[in-house]
């Protein structure tokens, strides 16, 4: 804009300059004033019109046209020229339904009347956004690391100071603001390895196999980048559960791999059936090279917790079919149902004996974002990769080096997840009280959600054994399905959009996660406070009954 005004001024002044043929500074203005003085009284001079303080001559207009022509040239980056793999990426949890929710929020702020006073975003597992309080000890350590002057403050407990000093000693210049090694701070990787050994009852873990990541998502994407190769029928096939967390389908699209769906058994509490794995694998061999098997346990969006026998069967299948296993275990602290227990793939693999433990390639993932911590914004996480070829290990470190290092504050937060206060330490009692309060509250909300959904006609919800979501199955009448088609929407997207517009509740249609043909679901988080969750569920109940009546 400044360049445009400057060009116009120069043109209005006759392209004044100091060289031959140029006029003296201000000469254009003097001529204009002299011309105005010779006109009869009361008559305005004709000529260049004023635009603010700028007078526009024909030369200025011509210059402006030329500049506009240059400004409106074709864009280099368009939908046609962009990377087609990126265009193919879809991410349902922040998709069209969430954009619509944002528009409605703006309308509410402007005072536009709606049948509700607020939008309840139950579309994503963002614990602190839903009112969950941070764990005090974790925040104390990160605060001390961020501002070391606080290490002299009597307001902070000594066990928090001890951990902060250890983390800072691992940082360049004793500062959280320095880059770290690409794999992450060494002492934190040591703490992760110790945590895995405690969790898995003494199964050894090597810090050199630990990679700190920007949330679990970063690690999953990095491993997939290393794994995916080939073209035509040799393109890498990645087996993912349906329903799945859309990170997987998005990453597979971006990397131009082949998505191979295997279906979880909804009639059997979303169990994982090896016969279904074999069906999916054998069918996929006709058009790709399946070599990766992804498991989410506890499940997202389905909330199931796989039992020990199921995990053994999956490991045997991967060993038999030579598949690289990815175990997404970010909800390992979120187990609620009696009789359910989290078993890590690493532990079961080890207990199955050396033939399995020394051969099956496994990457497992954890995060600060879920569990009892809910620290999504810190983007802290880790992956443990075992049985990786030594040369590939070097390639993985090289790939991770491109992004320099994960956020260092996130690394510090991850350290507290794996190295919390222990009995006898000053902060232990408060830490345990806060942790158990969060997890007990989530267990109550899981049961409340399951029970209330199953009282609604035309809705069925499997037991919420773990994680922090419900994925109820909803009946949608044929009349509503026809109307959805007329609006060029999936039936469950149509349902969820109506729910949002009439109640202010934002949930994600099951089609964004995948579901069996002819079935419809939605995913919602159970994170809202209990009283707000009750209101939300009552609103869903009332809406669903009216929806069935309208489209009966």
Q: What is the three-state SS of 294-353? A: EEECCCCCCCCCCCHHHHHHHHHHHHHHCCEEEEECCCCCCECCCCCCCCCHHHHHHHCC
pLDDT digits (tens, 9 = 90+) for 286-318: 999 999 999 999 999 999 999 999 999 999 999
The yes-or-no verdict on residue 4 having pLDDT over 80 is no
Could you tell me the pLDDT band of residue 34, with boundaries at 50, 70 and 90? Answer: very low
Could you tell me the pLDDT band of residue 134, with boundaries at 50, 70 and 90? Answer: very high
Could you tell me the pLDDT band of residue 149, with boundaries at 50, 70 and 90? Answer: very high
Q: Return the pLDDT at 30.
A: 42
Closest to 133 measured CA to CA, from 527, 533, 470, 535: 527
- Adjacent-strand bridge partners of 51: 54
Specify the CATH number for 86-131+430-551; select among 3.40.50.2300, 3.90.1150.10, 3.40.190.10, 3.50.50.60. Answer: 3.90.1150.10
Q: Return the pLDDT at 8.
A: 44
Please tell me the total number of residues recorded for the chain in this structure.
Answer: 552
The yes-or-no verdict on residue 411 having pLDDT over 90 is yes
Query: Cα–chain-centroid distance for residue 549?
Result: 36
Number of Cα atoms under 13 Å in the Cβ half of residue 548: 11
Q: How far apart are CA 272 and CA 304, in angstroms?
A: 9
How is 200-224 classified by DSSP, letter by letter? TTT----GGGEEEEEHHHHHHHHHH
Q: Return the pLDDT at 247.
A: 86
Enclosing H/E stretch for 51: strand 49-51
Q: How far apart are CA 225 and CA 221, in angstroms?
A: 6
CATH code 3.40.640.10 region(s) in the chain: 136-418
Q: Return the pLDDT at 232.
A: 86
Q: Return the pLDDT at 83.
A: 72
| Alpha carbon separation from 509 to 250, 315, 337, 472, 537 (Å, rounded) | 16, 31, 25, 10, 16
| Alpha carbon separation from 327 to 52, 192, 243, 248, 292 (Å, rounded) | 65, 16, 16, 12, 11
Could you tell me the pLDDT band of residue 336, with boundaries at 50, 70 and 90? Answer: very high
pLDDT digits (tens, 9 = 90+) for 340-357: 999 999 999 999 999 999
Give the SS3 label for residue 1: coil
What b/e sequence results for 188-200 when a residue is b if at least 16 CB atoms lie within 10 Å of its CB, and e otherwise? bbbbbbebbeebb
Q: Return the pLDDT at 76.
A: 75
Mean pLDDT, to the nearest integer, of 72-76?
A: 78
With a CB cutoff of 8 Å and minimum separation 6, the contacts of 528 are: 120, 122, 130, 131, 445, 536
Give the least confident one: 51-65, 335-349, 390-404. Answer: 51-65
Mean pLDDT, to the nearest integer, of 470-491?
A: 93
Q: Where are the beta strands (DSSP E) in 371-493?
A: 380-386, 459-460, 469-470, 473-474
Q: How far apart are CA 77 and CA 417, in angstroms?
A: 43
Preceding omega of 425 cis (within 30 degrees of 0): no
Q: How far apart are CA 435 and CA 373, in angstroms?
A: 8
Q: How far apart are CA 232 and CA 236, in angstroms?
A: 9
Q: Return the pLDDT at 61.
A: 64
Terminal Cα distance for the chain, rounded: 59
Token representation of residue 378: 């810190």
The yes-or-no verdict on residue 420 having pLDDT over 70 is yes
The yes-or-no verdict on residue 96 having pLDDT over 90 is no
Q: Return the pLDDT at 196.
A: 97
The yes-or-no verdict on residue 31 having pLDDT over 60 is no
CB-based contact 364:192 (threshold 8 Å): no
Mean pLDDT, to the nearest integer, of 352-366?
A: 95
| Alpha carbon separation from 278 to 309, 328, 361 (Å, rounded) | 17, 20, 19
CB-based contact 378:126 (threshold 8 Å): no
Domain 136-418: assigned CATH number: 3.40.640.10
Q: Return the pLDDT at 64.
A: 60
Q: How far apart are CA 403 and CA 396, in angstroms?
A: 12
Q: Return the pLDDT at 199.
A: 96
Token representation of residue 68: 């506009």
CATH code 3.90.1150.10 region(s) in the chain: 86-131+430-551
Mean pLDDT, to the nearest integer, of 274-284?
A: 96
Q: How far apart are CA 385 and CA 205, in angstroms?
A: 10
pLDDT digits (tens, 9 = 90+) for 227-276: 888 888 999 999 999 998 888 888 898 888 999 999 999 999 999 999 99
CB-based contact 512:530 (threshold 8 Å): no
Average pLDDT of the chain, as a whole number: 86
Taking residue 358's Cβ as centre, other Cβ atoms within 10 Å add up to 11
The yes-or-no verdict on residue 93 having pLDDT over 70 is no
């Amino acid at each position: 804009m400044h360049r445009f005004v400057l060009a116009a001024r120069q043109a209005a002044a006759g392209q004044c300059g100091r060289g031959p043929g140029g006029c003296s500074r201000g000469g254009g203005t003097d001529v204009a004033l002299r011309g105005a003085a010779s006109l009869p009284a009361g008559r305005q001079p004709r000529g260049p019109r004023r635009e603010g303080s700028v007078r526009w001559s024909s030369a200025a207009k011509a210059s402006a046209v030329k500049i506009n022509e240059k400004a409106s040239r074709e864009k280099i980056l368009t939908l046609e020229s962009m990377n087609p793999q990126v265009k193919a990426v879809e991410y349902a949890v922040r998709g069209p339904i969430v954009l619509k929710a944002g528009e409605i929020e703006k309308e509410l702020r402007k005072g536009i009347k709606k049948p509700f006073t607020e939008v309840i975003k139950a579309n994503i597992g963002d614990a602190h956004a839903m009112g969950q309080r941070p764990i005090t000890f974790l925040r104390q350590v990160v605060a001390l690391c961020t501002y070391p002057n606080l290490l002299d403050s009597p307001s902070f407990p000594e066990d928090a100071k001890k951990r902060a000093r250890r983390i800072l000693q691992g940082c360049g210049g004793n500062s959280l603001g320095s880059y770290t090694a690409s794999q992450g701070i060494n002492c934190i990787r040591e703490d992760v390895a110790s945590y895995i050994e405690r969790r898995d009852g003494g199964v050894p873990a090597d810090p050199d196999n630990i990679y700190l990541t920007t949330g679990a998502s970063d690690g999953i994407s990095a491993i997939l980048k290393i794994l995916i190769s080939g073209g035509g029928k040799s393109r890498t096939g990645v087996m993912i559960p349906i329903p799945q967390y859309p990170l997987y389908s998005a990453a597979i699209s971006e990397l131009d791999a082949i998505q191979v769906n295997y279906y979880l058994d909804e009639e059997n509490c979303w169990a994982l059936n090896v016969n279904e794995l074999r069906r999916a694998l054998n069918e996929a061999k006709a058009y790709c090279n399946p070599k990766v098997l992804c498991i989410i346990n506890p499940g997202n969006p389905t909330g199931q917790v796989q039992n020990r026998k199921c995990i053994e069967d999956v490991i045997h299948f991967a060993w038999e079919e030579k598949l690289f296993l990815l175990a997404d275990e970010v909800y390992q602290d979120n187990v609620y149902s009696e009789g359910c227990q989290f078993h890590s793939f690493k532990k079961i693999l080890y207990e199955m004996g050396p033939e399995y433990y020394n051969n099956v390639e496994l990457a497992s993932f954890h995060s600060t974002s879920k569990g009892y911590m809910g620290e999504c914004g810190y983007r802290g996480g880790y992956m443990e990769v075992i049985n990786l070829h030594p040369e590939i290990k070097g390639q993985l470190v090289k790939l991770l080096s491109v992004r320099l290092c994960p956020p260092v504050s996130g690394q510090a937060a991850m350290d507290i997840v794996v190295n919390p206060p222990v009995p006898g330490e000053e902060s232990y009692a408060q830490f345990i009280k806060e942790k158990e309060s969060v997890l007990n509250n989530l267990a109550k909300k899981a049961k409340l959600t399951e029970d209330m959904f199953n009282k609604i006609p035309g809705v069925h919800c499997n037991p919420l054994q773990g994680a922090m979501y419900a994925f109820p199955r909803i009946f949608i009448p044929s009349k509503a399905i026809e109307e959805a088609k007329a609006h060029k929407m999936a039936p469950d997207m149509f349902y969820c959009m109506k729910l949002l517009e009439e109640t202010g509740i934002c949930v994600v249609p099951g089609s964004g996660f995948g579901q069996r043909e002819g079935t419809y679901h939605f995913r919602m988080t159970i994170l809202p406070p209990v009283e707000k969750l009750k209101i939300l569920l009552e609103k869903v109940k009332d809406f669903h009954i009216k929806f069935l009546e309208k489209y009966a």
